[in-house]
């Protein structure tokens, strides 16, 4: 009767081996469901960065309109082109220091602004006016003929440095005269306003000398 007991004892190891096999298969199935690397960390790919995460967005293009301001005149001021000493040498008179100002003028349908410099003495007031292409406010830069309604106007084509010119004088004494000497760079107007009837020299030639001197300083 000892044989059955031996059979029961030999059946226990077989049952235990079967349980171990089932447990091993269960663990293997669970491991295959997890997507992990050898260190136990997840290997799922990182999300792609969003376009909204860009810290440096491009700036919009400027919409500023180009400036329409007129170019500034590149001429020197009239008082920088001639001094009282220069006038004394060319006219033989003593005048005070030049007084600078801005002015407006027009002739023959053309209007412009001027840089002016006036020199005074008891005998005459000498005025130098400079105008460049950028100073024209109406019409086209050129050599407009002065108004002759109150005097006489004649061409003046003998001024050094000028391509064209005009000489205007008033009808009654004392003499009021203006010489306009024109070039591509600038127009120079020399005004002579006498306080006396008896003056020395030739005002026409003196005005031409003054205009030529100023043009030479401008043209270099």
Q: pLDDT (tens digit, 9 = 90+) per residue, 22-81?
A: 444 444 444 444 444 444 444 445 555 554 454 444 444 433 333 333 344 689 999 999
What are 80's strand-pairing partners? none
Please report whether residue 180 resides in a domain.
yes
Confidence of residue 10 (pLDDT cuts 50, 70, 90): very low
Residue 99 is part of which domain span? 78-219
**Where is pLDDT greater, at 13 or 156?**
156
Q: For residue 98, what are its two tokens?
A: 């030049």
Please report whether residue 37 resides in a domain.
no
Please report whether residue 4 resides in a domain.
no
- Write the CB contacts of 181 (distance below 8 Å, at least 6 apart in sequence): 156, 159, 161, 162, 165, 187, 188, 189, 190, 208, 211, 212, 215
**DSSP strand E in 13-172: where?**
99-107, 110-120, 124-131, 136-138, 151-155, 164-170
Please report whether residue 197 resides in a domain.
yes
Percent of the chain residues past pLDDT 90, beyond the cut = 60
Please report whether residue 69 resides in a domain.
no
Please report whether residue 212 resides in a domain.
yes
Tell me how many domains the chain contains. Answer: 1
Mean pLDDT of the chain: 78
Please report whether residue 139 resides in a domain.
yes
Distance (Å, whole) CA 100 – CA 25: 110
Please report whether residue 68 resides in a domain.
no
Read off the pTM.
0.68
């Amino acid at each position: 009767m000892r044989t059955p007991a031996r059979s029961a004892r030999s059946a226990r190891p077989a049952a235990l081996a079967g349980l171990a096999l089932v447990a091993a298969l269960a663990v293997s199935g669970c491991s295959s469901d997890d997507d992990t690397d050898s260190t136990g960390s997840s290997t799922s790919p990182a999300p792609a960065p969003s376009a909204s995460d860009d810290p440096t967005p491009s700036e919009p293009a400027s919409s500023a309109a180009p400036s329409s301001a007129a170019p500034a005149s590149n001429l020197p001021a009239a008082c920088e082109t001639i001094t009282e000493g220069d006038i004394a040498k060319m006219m033989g008179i003593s005048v005070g220091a030049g007084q600078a100002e801005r002015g407006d003028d027009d002739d023959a349908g053309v209007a412009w602004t001027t840089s002016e410099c006036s020199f005074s003495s008891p005998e005459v007031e000498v005025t130098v006016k400079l105008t460049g292409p950028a100073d024209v406010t109406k019409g086209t830069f050129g050599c407009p003929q002065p108004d002759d309604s109150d005097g006489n106007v004649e061409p003046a084509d003998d001024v050094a440095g000028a391509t064209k010119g005009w000489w205007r004088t008033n009808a009654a004494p004392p003499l009021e005269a203006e010489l306009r000497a024109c070039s591509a760079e600038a127009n120079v107007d020399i005004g002579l306003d006498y306080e006396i009837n008896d003056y020395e020299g030739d005002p026409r030639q003196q005005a031409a000398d003054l205009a030529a001197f100023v043009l030479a300083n401008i043209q270099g």
